[in-house]
Structure 1
Amino acid sequence: MSNNDEAIEVLDEYELEKGLVHVIIYKEPESGLYVYRVIEPPITDKLSNAITRVREYLLNSKFLIDNTELTNNKVRETVRSITEKLKLNLTDEEFETLMYYVTRDSVGYGKINPLLWDGLIEDIHINGPGKPVYVWHSKYENLRTNIVLNEGELDSLIIKVSQRAGKNISSAQPILEGLLPEGVRVEVALKEVAPNGPILTIRKFRSVPFTIVDLVSDGVVSAEIIAFLWFLLEHGVSMIIIGPTGAGKTTLLNALLFMIRPESRVVTVEDTREINIPHEQWVSLVTRESSTPEVANVGMYDLVKLSMRIRPDYLVIGELRGEEAYVFFQAMASGHVGLTTIHAGSIDAAVRRLISKPMSVPRALLPIASIFIEVGRVKLGNAIVRRVLNVVELLEVRGDKPITNPIYVWDRASQRFVKVGESKVIAGLISMGRVTEEEVARELERRRRLIEAMAQYGFRSPEAVFRVTRNYYVNPEGTYRKVLGGELP
């Protein structure tokens, strides 16, 4: 880093590519800023010359290395062949370094490629040429990196991104939104609308979704709360997850969907596809924006209306933002179970958003969404962690004030999830004769212990969680016994 390394407080260090790339996260002594430093393999004069010659050979031979269908193995074979033809005489270590840089800048995305590898990075923010790239890190939030793109590098990256997203961007259409082949969302704005730009933001999604066992193991939520929510989902209770940006709303939503009966018809509506569940009757609907007169624009409102006609058991909206909220609540009022998220810092703020334009949900309909789950980010030591902060039941809305029945809270002092009330929703199910008190007590306890055992034995993969859930619906006691014995059913 510098000659003053001993004065730098290192917070974290880990490898991204074994033996080649690693990361150091440290605190600058002068500014107090947290810095994310990517350390790539050093390039000697010999390697620099070899990399230049290989790139020139690829260019002159018109080798389509930018083709996103190429595998790393194919690139490796080609580069190995070129180094032999050029008689470069590289050691194994030198060849691996050459491979890294050639692959990074051709099949990959150049200097920012290591950031895409890091599973702890959620967002990448490029705020213009000559400025440090920033990242949103799941443990440390906003971090300045040591990566800076000059104007030419940023322009080349935007061209590559637009090609791979299959979208056009130009001074006439200076904004691009799309998905890259890696499954990450990209937003680009040119200088016509971003005078200090161009700017580029990449939002990453996990290819393997978090499960409820992941969340329990990581302390995001307790097994008792998951057992409670699972029981309510099975009995047709609708839920809304609220929280600020980056709090883990969609993560929790996706994890809860794994607990729905496998044969249920689940319809999801999203702007960008993030939800990923294994149900055979899962219907995924995604909006489509169009600036072409002949091509219809399909928004959230259109898709929520469509979903009503295809008879879902569970209607899931990735995030409520606009007029689709009214149709969503009408769907729940007509008997469909609804799950969604909403960007809000509290249940009071969520209710105010729901009753105001453009959502305009009638106050009388709001309690149909019986359960509100508040998630947030909290600082513990040097790390930022996600927690389920509150689970409350919405009883009614007076004016713009929600009347709630708190069930669970996260206590910061003890760092524990505490039950603070009894569920009126479950009491209602009992009074209607849908369940008995004995059944409720047995199921909540058995499911809590089942989830704790899954965490204990590491049954946290999506496949394992869905397997346990599927078998539990068929044979609850047998599944429970097997898992408690450390065996998957």
Structure 2
Amino acid sequence: MFDPRDPYERYYWHYESRRPLSVAEIIALQSVDAETAGLVWLLLEHRVSLTVAGPTDPQPGVGKTTTLNALLQFLPEETALAYMSGMYENFSFTRLPDINPDTTYALCNEVSDHLPIYMWGRIARRYLMLPGQGYHVATSVHADTIDDVMHMYQHDLRLAPEHIRRLGLIINIGLAGRSYPARRRWFSTHFIQPHVDPERPDSIVPVPLSLWNSFDDTFEHADESLLNDLAGWIGMDTQEFHQALARRIACMQEVSQGSGVDMQGMFDAITEMHEKES
């Protein structure tokens, strides 16, 4: 069975990429901007679940695994990672006597039917329902747009709306244009509105936080009103939210200068930020 302590097995099970990159290095490559990365950092610190979606045409090197691993650095220090074993997963970690769902992320390499080391069908459905038990999930999927992600979750995997509303962040990435070397971009970053609309109890509303503008290769961001709603959804005071966001954006701008700091440099920057805030 899969042993996540073994670096070779993590690579074989597609939990690690051949060339790991930090979020700072990803910004330096212009795949995303500091404003988007800073917002995602703040949300992951507040333990939202995460899906990184890439093209349905499975192109090697598009960056799903690299992006997912880079973003895991933003999780709180006390976070425990439970690595899933694809279609062999039996969710025995949920029965451990000392497990704390609130501080545990269930990490799945991919939700798809491509390989047995990925999750699909009832196993994937059970996995994506874990947030209903207080856990958090982080995974990747093959989907070109946010609508494709929602269709997969709601129709292919038959998740009920209340479970989809707990899935937090959805980041769609892909390759821009046909030039070489390939330009990787975060096409969109959405947050699934967690509250039920009384007038439309079955509706699922992905709220756009950042959208890539292909015309001038820039990113368009959510306005202040939407960010205020976001603060309430994750349980933060509005003023505190905006101040914390500004600090993280400034940090990402600094560490992404030049070619950007590596994973260790990113870890050090995150640690320094937490020490200053404490």
TM-score by length of 1: 0.46
The correspondence for 2:32, drawn from 221, 231, 252, is 221
Contact 2:208 2:222 in 1 (8 A): yes
User: Which digits, 9 at most, give the CA deviation of each residue in 1:90-118, with x for residues without a partner?
Assistant: xxxxxxxxxxxxxxxxxxxxxxxxxxxxx
Deviates more, 1:244-253 or 1:396-405: 396-405
Give the superposition deviation at 1:425: 7.4
The correspondence for 1:255, drawn from 70, 89, 113, is 70
The correspondence for 1:324, drawn from 123, 127, 131, is 123
For 1:211, the aligned partner's letter is: S
- 2: distance between equivalents of 1:471 and 1:420? 27
- Counterparts in 2 of 1:470 and 1:300: CA distance versus 1, 3 Å: farther
Contact 1:308 1:331 in 2 (8 A): no
Give the superposition deviation at 1:386: 0.9
Runs (5+) with no aligned partner, structure 2: 1-5, 113-119
The correspondence for 1:454, drawn from 246, 255, 261, is 255
Give the superposition deviation at 1:403: 3.2
For 2:153, the aligned partner's letter is: L
**Pairwise CA RMSD:** 3.3
Structure showing greater Rg? 1
- 1: distance between equivalents of 2:277 and 2:33? 21
For 1:254, the aligned partner's letter is: N
1:411 aligns with 2:213: yes
* Aligned position for 1:39: none
SS at match of 2:188: strand
The correspondence for 1:309, drawn from 74, 83, 95, is 95
- 1: distance between equivalents of 2:8 and 2:82? 24
- Counterparts in 2 of 1:423 and 1:375: CA distance versus 1, 3 Å: farther
Q: How does 1:114-193 map to 2 (within 5 A)?
A: 185=12
- Counterparts in 2 of 1:427 and 1:266: CA distance versus 1, 3 Å: same
Contact 1:332 1:338 in 2 (8 A): yes
- Counterparts in 2 of 1:182 and 1:265: CA distance versus 1, 3 Å: closer
User: Which digits, 9 at most, give the CA deviation of each residue in 1:419-469, with x for residues without a partner?
Assistant: 14457576254378x322221111111111111111226552211111222
How high is the sequence identity, in percent, across the aligned residues? 21
For 2:111, the aligned partner's letter is: L
For 1:467, the aligned partner's letter is: D
- 2: distance between equivalents of 1:391 and 1:422? 16
Contact 2:165 2:204 in 1 (8 A): no
* Aligned position for 1:371: 169
Give the superposition deviation at 1:324: 2.5
Give the superposition deviation at 1:344: 1.1
* Aligned position for 2:48: 237
Deviates more, 1:423-432 or 1:368-377: 423-432
TM-score by length of 2: 0.77
SS at match of 1:475: helix
- 1: distance between equivalents of 2:169 and 2:48? 8
**Higher RCO (C-alpha under 8 Å, 6+ residues apart):** 2
SS at match of 1:258: helix
Considering fraction of residues, name the structure with more strand.
1
- Counterparts in 2 of 1:259 and 1:350: CA distance versus 1, 3 Å: same
Give the superposition deviation at 1:381: 4.2
Residues matched between the structures, number:
252
- Counterparts in 2 of 1:437 and 1:205: CA distance versus 1, 3 Å: closer
Give the superposition deviation at 1:317: 1.3
Give the superposition deviation at 1:204: 11
Give the superposition deviation at 1:219: 0.6
- Counterparts in 2 of 1:217 and 1:180: CA distance versus 1, 3 Å: closer
- 2: distance between equivalents of 1:256 and 1:211? 8
- 2: distance between equivalents of 1:366 and 1:431? 15
Give the superposition deviation at 1:205: 6.0
Runs (5+) with no aligned partner, structure 1: 1-178, 187-202, 270-285, 288-298, 478-489
For 2:188, the aligned partner's letter is: N
SS at match of 1:252: helix
For 1:438, the aligned partner's letter is: Q
For 1:415, the aligned partner's letter is: D
- 2: distance between equivalents of 1:423 and 1:391? 17
For 1:354, the aligned partner's letter is: Y
- Counterparts in 2 of 1:377 and 1:329: CA distance versus 1, 3 Å: same
